[in-house]
Amino acid sequence: MYAGAMLRLAPSTALLFILAGCGGATPEPSTVAAGATSSPAVVGAGTCESPFLAAIGPAIQGDTRTSASNSLAGTCAGDQGSEQVYQVHVSSAVQLTAQLQSTFDGAIYLQSSCGDITSELACNDDAEDITHSFLTALVEPGDYYIVVDAFEDGAGLYELVVTTQAAQPIAQLCSEAPALVPGQAITGTTSGHAGAFSAQCGGNAPGPDAVHVLDITEPSRVRINQQYEEYDGVLYIRSDCNDPDSELLCNDDAEDQSHSRIANTLQAGRYFVYTDGFTAASAGEYTLTAEVLPIAGAGGAGDSCANPTAIAIHEEPSPIDTFPLRDDYAGSCGGQDGADAVLSFSVTARSIVHIAALDVQNPDAVLYVRRQCADAASEMACLRVGSIARGARAQSIHTLLAPGAYFLFVDGFNANAFGSLKIALATTDAAPVEAICRQAQLLRAGQTVSGTTADSGDHFQSSCVPGGNDRAYRFQLRERKQVRFAFAPGFGGSLALRRECATGADIICTNGETVGPDAELTLERGTYYVIVESYSNNDAAPFSLTVTTGPPGTRLAPRNDIEDAGGDDDRDHNVETH
């Protein structure tokens, strides 16, 4: 939990005292801010059976240390802390808001049936800091229950303010939704709005919201961008304004919390676009823009082999946007029906070429390299990137290329995958890496090899680490086997297994930041290369690696069960020796 800025309340709202930040004893409130309405008398015991009756408007003072209950829970707060229950009666549809300020890490939740968590309408733990909570919900006439609780097991003094305002019917919100015109930015605010709608992402988007209508006249590519002013927003789209099940797309954060983006192909029809808040207190100004193009694209620079875009090695990353481009090509790892851009570059010496995809806003992109632009058989490498394939180095191609001209394709994995990214090209001399591969030490089953990545240099690019010093080993099988690679405890680096040493794609890559660097899998006959790599260049470390083999499909014993790990035992040693 954290401490942050004070929650801004309405001018007429009572404010509670100064509260402690991190560390030390938490002071208790002693006075109400000047000009505040005094706490009204309450009736009841503060339980579901006998709730307090909450007045609308005045600040209510309370103390959960006197609570007779500690068994209730909300979806954002556990059942360890003491709680007090307030009943609110509304006679017409209203937007109900509750604001809590406490001397402890408080939480509030709203239920239509007291004690029934499945009837919860809203729940909030922190609104800007741990001593403030805020919720709002659109409610129909009836009785509702606001529970003042603790995030864990805290208790103490608090102030609760409950307000209501007449709710605009959802049907009216939908019928009066302003038009979102493609190519025209809309600027608005959700401050003062009700939280009338909810999303299937972004924590259900309980904040105040606004709805806009987008009319599509023919099957189209659609991209909607939204930017928020100083709050965490959510963007989503439905085909039916008041039907949550008709939601088609939803995005919480694009490149950061202040941006959301949705992109897809849509059929002709009317759609409803919602700007919402990640928390009940998330509201403010926003800017919304829609882009709509024919479903086949409109073309542009770099759209085909006839007009590729030239990019240079070791220069600033080149921005690429496939949204307007047509589909002309596909790679071996995807790209059928996806919009694609064609880039050209040249290599002047035998090199390992590093192709990095940066700032990827295409939800599912494909990169592939060809020697001949229109010849799919000349493909040199292919990699799926984007949000579908995130990873430390999963956004990069590393391929060994001879001097000459090449073509790089930035493609969408399918017809719905288009968007922007940046491409950066770099090269390293291939000769030193190939020499390391030729001299790679042979691993033998049942034996342990000890080494260190200190001062070894960073020569290889494993897909599961950001880059560090590395060592290369060679491993050979005469027949199909189950193989286990196991490190002595304490090594936090990675192990990558590949068929081609210098730039081959990893068959498997494991690291100590996730499930640990050990690996076990079934391998076919042949030669393999094992790359042991530190997690970063500043994280070099010694290691001990043991390889064991067995019949395919069997589970091999962990390393600490191996007898005489430093030498031969009676395990399967069916590997080539030299």
Taking 90 as the threshold, does the pLDDT of residue 223 lie above it?
A: yes
Taking 90 as the threshold, does the pLDDT of residue 418 lie above it?
A: yes
The answer to whether residue 520 sits within a structural domain is: yes
Is the domain of 182 the same as that of 247?
yes
| Average pLDDT of span 6-17 | 31
pLDDT of residue 557: 66
The answer to whether residue 364 sits within a structural domain is: yes
pLDDT of residue 539: 66
Count of domains forming the chain? 4
Domain boundary among the residues 399, 429, 459 is at 429
Calculate the CA 572 to chain-centre distance.
44
Is the domain of 163 the same as that of 43?
yes
Structure tokens at 524: 């076919």
d(CA 144, CA 114): 8
d(CA 278, CA 205): 5
Give the model confidence (pLDDT) of 138-172 as tens digits.
888 999 999 999 998 889 999 999 999 887 888 89
Alpha helices in 43-192 (DSSP H): 170-175
| Average pLDDT of span 96-111 | 94
d(CA 441, CA 476): 11
Residue type, 295: I
Domain boundary among the residues 101, 133, 167 is at 167
Is the domain of 541 the same as that of 446?
yes
The answer to whether residue 326 sits within a structural domain is: yes
Give the model confidence (pLDDT) of 419-470 as tens digits.
999 999 999 999 999 999 999 999 999 999 999 988 888 899 887 877 789 9
3 state SS of 435: helix
| Average pLDDT of span 49-78 | 90
Burial of residue 578 (number of CB atoms within 10 Å: 0-12, 13-18, 19+): exposed
| Average pLDDT of span 321-349 | 96
Structure tokens at 126: 């922190």
pLDDT of residue 361: 86
Give the model confidence (pLDDT) of 518-561 as tens digits.
999 999 999 999 999 987 666 677 899 999 999 998 888 664 44
CA distances to 152, 154, 426, 511, 552 from 106, in Å: 8, 8, 52, 39, 56
Domain range for 333: 309-429
Residue 281 pLDDT class (50, 70, 90 cuts): confident
The answer to whether residue 461 sits within a structural domain is: yes
Nearest to 577, CA basis, from 474, 499, 501, 437:
474
pLDDT of residue 91: 92
Residue with tokens 């996730």: 514
Taking 70 as the threshold, does the pLDDT of residue 192 lie above it?
A: yes
CATH code: domain of residue 184? 2.60.120.380
Taking 60 as the threshold, does the pLDDT of residue 358 lie above it?
A: yes
| Average pLDDT of span 231-244 | 95
The answer to whether residue 576 sits within a structural domain is: no
Is the domain of 457 the same as that of 420?
no
d(CA 294, CA 225): 18
Pairing of strands 259-266, 186-189: unpaired
| Average pLDDT of span 378-390 | 78
Q: Are 336 and 369 in contact (CB under 8 A)?
A: no
The answer to whether residue 574 sits within a structural domain is: no
Residue type, 542: P
CA distances to 134, 137, 335, 463, 555 from 384, in Å: 42, 42, 9, 12, 31
Nearest to 332, CA basis, from 284, 295, 381:
381
pLDDT of residue 558: 60
Structure tokens at 503: 């730039």
